[in-house]
Chain A
Amino acid sequence: MKHTSVTPNRPSNRIQGWLQEHHKAAIGSWQRFWNSVLSTTFTSLTLAIALALPGSLLVLLNNAEQITRHLQASAQVNIFLHKDIGLADAQQLTQQLGQREDIHNSYLISATAALDQFRQQSGLDTILDSLAINPLPHTIVITPAFHAANQIALSRLTAKLDTLATVDEVLVDLQWVQRLAALLETTRMATLGLALFLALAVMLVIGNTLRLAIENRREEIVVIKLVGGTDAYLRRPFLYLGCWYGLLSSGLAWLIIQFGLWGLQAPLQRLGDTYQTTIELVGLGISGSLGLIISSVLLTMLSATITVTRELRLIEPH
């Protein structure tokens, strides 16, 4: 039998044909995507919520870290000396400490100065005047040379200061900042864990959606296999379907996050007003938005590839 020239065999036509196939598969699955608007919307919303939850938590964490960053930088350590240490010794120690590598600066609050300060702040003049002796010790205030978030260095320094014979007690002034930092770090880890779980949920939802889509077209798949459709040809429309889900749901997630932040801005500013500060919430930004979209599409495509490859293998003509 005579064979007429098969058009796709010429190289330029082959590439053209390949592009045409992708174009058709993309368009076809896009149309199928919108065939059942309701279920597509619900599935995409489910996915969007799963994406928006860790996404918005990460955005909030970034904001919280930005707000606490300048607080952390100003960690201070108060060193209370033993009562019997004289002013000269205290001054000498202050100087020595100021020369240490790990200490940025140091200054002395003498017992007298401390009492004066306390007198002014407390208004307990008469009681304090009646005291025969000053109950307050000399205090050296130091600022470490490292960032306050560096807890290891900070605890090493305080331990070392504690061993000095002249020192009675070492008090890190801003422990609450550290606690906050630790809390933020813990929350970040928890959020990442949550993100992992929700990523799994996204993959399962996509997997199930595509499994149903394949099941609905079972007959067609059997016929295509019988006339010689390759696995790649059969996979293509379903992979595009997964891609559309990834794009739509990340777009919805983006809206959820940005609207959420926008809603938070006003009440947070009212809070900021009471501290005379401006609170400017930072949104996803360009890199965050791209990260959201790309990770969403990658997730759905990964799930789609696994599901579609397995499901199509299960359908064989008989």
Chain B
Amino acid sequence: MIRFDQVSKHYADDKIALNRATFHLKRGQMAFITGHSGAGKSTLLKLIMLMERATQGRIIVDNQDLANLNRRQIPWHRRKIGLVFQNHQLLFDYSVFNNIALPLRINGYHERDIGRRVRAALDKVGLLGQEKAMPSTLSTGEQQRVGIARAIVNKPRLLLADEPTGNLDPELAEEIMHLFEQFNQVGVSVLIASHDINLIRHLPYPVMKLGQGRLTHLRASS
């Protein structure tokens, strides 16, 4: 699903965020990227989302070499990917329903289908019945679930998450991880960046470690 081949990313001020990273996430696989703050985890995910362009190397996502995608093609690439942020990036002047409906609206879905799909997504994250609520009235954990619902509402084949449990206490974090496992079980490829070693240590998925831009494979799939 994702293939990095000797990928480097240098930022403008000669900062090397990623240094010859190579890895392969198979279709339907779930994996973690870990490492300290500033190690380059977010950079790696941004490269996949085409929020940044690689300085060197080759990135292939869903059989598509990202170097071949121009500016106009970026939206279509992003629609294939669900993205979950640490700070969930919800729009606070929109209801839960309208937040989750956003990826469907840009796709031109019929309003009838939108309602059906949004409720299905809410059901999956355990927030059915909260569609009319405003995000500000929800707890942090619930807000993160809304963010996840928005990421999966369009049924993407690939789910990326950048520190999805960063602001949550351990119990909530574990619940969120369990959600990701559920999506993975129905065939979604999942790549999660997290510095929370304790959380991922006992989970049976490959873990890659980033340190000063270098990627090492800590553990293969068990």
| Interface core residue of B83, B106, B154 (most chain A CB under 10 Å) | B106
DSSP majority for the A interface?
Answer: helix
1/0 per position for A226-265, CB-CB distance to B under 8 A? 1111110100000000000000000000000000000000
Give chain B residues whose Cβ lies under 8 Å from the Cβ of A222. Answer: 89
A227 touches B187 (CB 8 A): no
B89 touches A226 (CB 8 A): yes
Nearest neighbor of A234 in chain B, beta-carbon distance: B106
Give chain B residues whose Cβ lies under 8 Å from the Cβ of A225. Answer: 75, 78
In the assembled complex, how far is the CB of residue B117 from the closest CB belonging to chain A, in whole angstroms?
Answer: 9
Tell me whether B58 is interfacial, beta carbon within 8 Å. Answer: no
CB under 8 Å from chain A, chain B span 66-111: 72, 74-79, 83, 89, 91, 94, 102-103, 105-111
| Interface core residue of B102, B111, B188 (most chain A CB under 10 Å) | B102
B102 touches A223 (CB 8 A): yes
CB under 8 Å from chain B, chain A span 168-211: none
| Cα-based distance from A152 to B82 in the complex (angstroms) | 75
B110 touches A228 (CB 8 A): no
Tell me whether B155 is interfacial, beta carbon within 8 Å. Answer: yes
Give chain B residues whose Cβ lies under 8 Å from the Cβ of A150. Answer: none
Tell me whether B168 is interfacial, beta carbon within 8 Å. Answer: no
Give chain A residues whose Cβ lies under 8 Å from the Cβ of B110. Answer: 7, 13, 16-17, 20
Tell me whether A317 is interfacial, beta carbon within 8 Å. Answer: yes
| Cα-based distance from A316 to B94 in the complex (angstroms) | 21
A18 touches B108 (CB 8 A): yes
In the assembled complex, how far is the CB of residue B38 from the closest CB belonging to chain A, in whole angstroms?
Answer: 15
B155 touches A1 (CB 8 A): yes
Tell me whether B133 is interfacial, beta carbon within 8 Å. Answer: no
Q: How large is the interface on A (under 10, 10 to 19, 20 to 34, 35 or more residues)?
A: 20 to 34
In the assembled complex, how far is the CB of residue B31 from the closest CB belonging to chain A, in whole angstroms?
Answer: 17
Give chain B residues whose Cβ lies under 8 Å from the Cβ of A13. Answer: 110
In the assembled complex, how far is the CB of residue A296 from the closest CB belonging to chain B, in whole angstroms?
Answer: 30
Tell me whether A273 is interfacial, beta carbon within 8 Å. Answer: no
A318 touches B106 (CB 8 A): no
Which among B28, B111, B155 is the interface contact of A3 at CB below 8 angstroms? B155
1/0 per position for A290-318, CB-CB distance to B under 8 A? 00000000000000000000000000111
| Cα-based distance from A229 to B188 in the complex (angstroms) | 22
Nearest neighbor of B189 in chain A, beta-carbon distance: A1
Tell me whether A219 is interfacial, beta carbon within 8 Å. Answer: yes
Please list the residues of chain B having a beta carbon within 8 angstroms of any beta carbon in chain A.
28, 46, 49, 51, 72, 74-79, 83, 89, 91, 94, 102-103, 105-111, 113, 150, 154-155, 157, 186-188
Q: What are 9 pairs between A and B in contact, CB < 8 Å?
A: A1-B188, A219-B89, A220-B91, A223-B102, A224-B106, A227-B106, A228-B79, A228-B107, A230-B75
Please list the residues of chain A having a beta carbon within 8 angstroms of any beta carbon in chain B.
1-4, 6-8, 13-14, 16-18, 20-21, 24, 219-220, 222-231, 233, 316-318
